[in-house]
Structure 1
Amino acid sequence: MGNSMIPSFWLSTLDPIVPRPPLPGDRSYDVAIAGGGYTGLWTAYYLSQLAPSLSIAVLEASYCGFGASGRNGGWASGLFPVSEAKLARRYGADRARAMHAALADAVDEVGRVGIDCDYAKGGTISLARSPAQLRRARRSPGFLSRSAAAAICNATDVLGGVYSPDCAALHPARLVRGLLDAVLQRGVAVYEGTRVLSLSRGSVVTDHGTVTAGTVVRALEGYTAQLSGHRRALAPVYSLMIATEPLPASDWERIGLARRETFTDERHMIIYGQRTADDRLAFGGRGAPYHFGSRIEPSYDQVPAVFDSLRETLADMFRIRPGIAYRWGGPLGIPRDWMPSVGLRDGVAWAGGYVGDGVAAANLAGRTLADLIAGHETERTGLPWVGHRSRRWEPEPIRWLGINAGLRATTLRDAWEKHPAPAR
């Protein structure tokens, strides 16, 4: 199953990571960024271009890419957890369209930067594999007939599908570590092995000293709940993945995904997969429990029942039973209203709450934070998510009961749709 000390298949394919030295005591910078994942590093990358005179420090508890940025499904997608229709009702149709156009552009921007990360923009397909799923798919732009959908991804029971060009498959750990190299070359200070304990206007307190800064950036995503005073800001919900052994050419001739399209289906409990550059299936899904008190522990990355379910889902979709070479997981950040946000207020900036679609969104967030911190008014700074504040999650035990009840209800709804009660 791979080295259990390495948190994902992606990270296991890199040369061994030697963390950079921690913060060497109290320091002062113009901008201090808490979090060395995509959001923090993209912010540092673009800000160092936009305002090269600013001194910037990134503070990371483990090593850059240890969290979701090195463990995710490798989808740089234009997906946003709030529908365009809902955004239009709240912010107007023009701003809603602008939000989705900016995310689509972010997919391309990740590729334009030129980091070697097996980037392949084949788009994404959501298959309809039951009558209920087909009804949902027919209401979506990009609907495909049965034959057109199967020509892209020849899964079992395909009745139709929805295709979007706004997605690229990539190797997420290569992206985040390549991004680290890029910011280091631009003179950004990066301190790994430095846990942020609290932050406030002008100050970031870590376990290795305090950083004073004119602007402080919170970019901790699923780990936000571990920050003092932020327990209820974002709920850390786990997503788990498996990666198969490389599949033979005969399997790929039957399955398809010739342009490395990412794939899912129209079920309610999210699943997601990609054909990797070395011809594996990397496949994940939700369903792991939320843990009381927003706790995050390494043991929560491994849930055998979820791994078994993912393997059975692959077998059901593609009639294959390949060896499973890797199993891993990790937390992602979910705001109470499922609305990601970016902002800057009183010297404290933030971005996150991507609900699992953060690869491209974090790039857009980093560019937007750079604009805000540099004081530039741009099209990005006028997008609907800028300045948005989600209300806090409920206190425990209501939070634990509510989230896990929702997960259970979603599972039951999918089972009902797959095996509907006979008509009377």
Structure 2
Amino acid sequence: MIPSFWLSTLEPVTPRPPLPGDRSYDVAIAGGGYTGLWTAYYLSQLAPDLSIAVLEASYCGFGASGRNGGWASGLFPVSEAKLSGKYGSERARAMHAELADAVDEVGRVAAAEDIDCHYAKGGTISLARSPAQLRRARSAPGFLSAPEAKAICNATDVLGGVYSPDCAALHPARLVRGLASAVSQKGVDIYEGTRVLSLERGRVVTDHGTVTAGTVVRALEGYTAQLAGHRRALAPVYSLMIATEPLPAADWDRIGLARRETFTDERHMIIYGQRTADDRLAFGGRGAPYHFGSRIEPSYDQVPEVFESLRHTLTDMFGIRPEIAYRWGGPLGIPRDWMPSVGLEDGMAWAGGYVGDGVAAANLAGRTLADLITGTESVRTTLPWVGHRSRRWEPEPLRWLGINAALRATTLRDALEKHPAPAR
């Protein structure tokens, strides 16, 4: 695996020792990314007497937590309108309000634990750069005119935009590594280099021994499909990123993003970017293929044509031809209905399926799991995603055919909106 730009800027990671054989804990957490670590963090606060173990196959931050786009956002993959239709408007509003609060909570904890993760709450802007994109943007809260949008992010062909204050740019690897240290200091045992093989009620089987526990937590996100019996739970779909060399001040004077606002546009194929603390553009997007059988391999992190497409998109958006210093990627977890979930049933807890919007959502999930495990009543435990069960993905080859067909169709829709067919 080629490390992300974020991990490349840190000291080389020395994994903690693996599980030293069979052990017993009150809570065993499978996965040392944001979800697992936030769960351990808040559990250690709510119930300091609980014995807690975090089990991680590689090292904390190896997965999406150490390589994502660095957006701590209030975004949720299911719209408030759809949530309202199924769960009622009050619970839908509460879901989005709690996610917005989670953006601030990430910054608060980072400050309290002295984690220098380059947190900057500048909000996020989605640009409308075609007539079709503009039509979608006009119906969204926070719509901006073209001059208002360009004052934030002076990209090419801007016709309008949508702004939300509920987003912070940050350095994701600094956050996850700092969070792991904070959790360890609170008495939580973290075992790295320990691959979880199966989860059962009351125990976690690993390649270094078995952990028995009153509560078992699944927090594996994009790697869930590698777990026995979970091949069809979450589809591991790849998202790839690039980071430029630092841009000169003259380019930033023209581009903007003065408060390190994160940015995207209204196309269907998701793209996402931020201005880093050292003045690079870190930019990513979907488009890499899904691999048959939900396979995950290090070689899948590198897709030259996707990297070139991302570089071309930056040139198209900002009129620059940047030198690309880093290229990386990896899988994220997508549920069949795109609805993340959190839950606890009969001692088996889980959280995930964030569809790429997991930096702040994982914080909220960790707090929610801590409430559920300790029996603490809160607004969080009544949110729509609590107890939700997505139906499983189709068996192969239907899964491979369907996901990759959807990726191609999305690319085609964007091409048609950018270059519409001439009227007859």
TM-score scaled by length of structure 2: 0.99
Q: Does 1:58 align with 2:54?
A: yes
SS class of match (2:289)? coil
In the alignment, which residue of structure 1 is the partner of 2:21? 25
Q: Distance in 2 between matches of 1:200 and 1:106?
A: 30
SS class of match (1:140)? coil
Q: Deviations over 1:24-59 (max 9, x none)?
A: 000000000000000000000000000000000000
1:198-277 to structure 2, matched below 5 A, reads 198-277=198-277
Using the TM superposition, give the Cα deviation of residue 97 of structure 1 relative to its aligned residue in structure 2, in angstroms.
0.1
2:11 to 15, 20, 40: 15
Q: 1:118 is matched by which residue type in structure 2?
A: H
Q: Does 1:92 align with 2:88?
A: yes
Give the conservation status (yes or no) of the 8 Å contact 1:273–1:284: yes
In the alignment, which residue of structure 2 is the partner of 1:101? 97
Q: Distance in 1 between matches of 2:121 and 2:407?
A: 31
Using the TM superposition, give the Cα deviation of residue 263 of structure 1 relative to its aligned residue in structure 2, in angstroms.
0.1
Q: Deviations over 1:189-236 (max 9, x none)?
A: 000000000001100000000000000000000000000000000000
Give the conservation status (yes or no) of the 8 Å contact 1:245–1:323: yes
Q: 1:37 is matched by which residue type in structure 2?
A: G
Give the conservation status (yes or no) of the 8 Å contact 1:95–1:383: yes
In the alignment, which residue of structure 2 is the partner of 1:368? 368
SS class of match (1:364)? helix
Using the TM superposition, give the Cα deviation of residue 423 of structure 1 relative to its aligned residue in structure 2, in angstroms.
1.6
Using the TM superposition, give the Cα deviation of residue 109 of structure 1 relative to its aligned residue in structure 2, in angstroms.
0.2
Using the TM superposition, give the Cα deviation of residue 6 of structure 1 relative to its aligned residue in structure 2, in angstroms.
4.2
In the alignment, which residue of structure 1 is the partner of 2:106? 110
Which ranges of structure 1 fall in alignment gaps of 5 or more residues? Answer: none
SS class of match (2:251)? helix
Give the conservation status (yes or no) of the 8 Å contact 1:23–1:209: yes
Q: 2:135 is matched by which residue type in structure 1?
A: R
Using the TM superposition, give the Cα deviation of residue 238 of structure 1 relative to its aligned residue in structure 2, in angstroms.
0.1
Q: Distance in 1 between matches of 2:76 and 2:280?
A: 27
Q: Distance in 2 between matches of 1:37 and 1:45?
A: 12
Q: Does 1:71 align with 2:67?
A: yes
Q: 2:34 is matched by which residue type in structure 1?
A: Y
Q: Distance in 1 between matches of 2:356 and 2:132?
A: 24
Which aligned segments of 4 or more residues in structure 1 are displaced greater than 4 angstroms?
Answer: none
In the alignment, which residue of structure 2 is the partner of 1:319? 319
SS class of match (2:78)? coil
Q: Distance in 2 between matches of 1:402 and 1:6?
A: 29
In the alignment, which residue of structure 1 is the partner of 2:289? 289
In the alignment, which residue of structure 2 is the partner of 1:383? 383
Q: 1:279 is matched by which residue type in structure 2?
A: D
Q: Deviations over 1:89-119 (max 9, x none)?
A: 0000000000000000000000011221000
Q: 2:59 is matched by which residue type in structure 1?
A: Y
Q: Distance in 2 between matches of 1:377 and 1:15?
A: 41
Q: Distance in 1 between matches of 2:366 and 2:423?
A: 52
SS class of match (2:282)? strand
Give the conservation status (yes or no) of the 8 Å contact 1:19–1:193: yes
Q: Distance in 2 between matches of 1:239 and 1:13?
A: 20
In the alignment, which residue of structure 1 is the partner of 2:406? 406
Q: Distance in 1 between matches of 2:241 and 2:3?
A: 11
In the alignment, which residue of structure 1 is the partner of 2:167? 167
Q: 1:380 is matched by which residue type in structure 2?
A: R
Q: Distance in 1 between matches of 2:2 and 2:49?
A: 37
Q: Distance in 2 between matches of 1:417 and 1:322?
A: 26
Q: Distance in 1 between matches of 2:419 and 2:330?
A: 31
SS class of match (1:15)? coil
Give the conservation status (yes or no) of the 8 Å contact 1:6–1:12: no
Q: 2:98 is matched by which residue type in structure 1?
A: A
Root-mean-square deviation (Å): 0.5
Percentage identity across aligned positions?
89
Give the conservation status (yes or no) of the 8 Å contact 1:37–1:67: yes
Q: Deviations over 1:222-255 (max 9, x none)?
A: 0000000000000000000000000000000000
Q: Distance in 1 between matches of 2:377 and 2:47?
A: 14
In the alignment, which residue of structure 2 is the partner of 1:146? 146
In the alignment, which residue of structure 2 is the partner of 1:133? 133
Q: 1:381 is matched by which residue type in structure 2?
A: T
Q: Deviations over 1:261-308 (max 9, x none)?
A: 000000000000000000000000000000000000000000000000
Q: 1:248 is matched by which residue type in structure 2?
A: P
Q: Distance in 1 between matches of 2:47 and 2:335?
A: 31
Q: Distance in 2 between matches of 1:275 and 1:322?
A: 13
Using the TM superposition, give the Cα deviation of residue 322 of structure 1 relative to its aligned residue in structure 2, in angstroms.
1.3
SS class of match (2:7)? helix
SS class of match (1:98)? helix
Q: 2:388 is matched by which residue type in structure 1?
A: H
Q: Distance in 2 between matches of 1:408 and 1:361?
A: 28
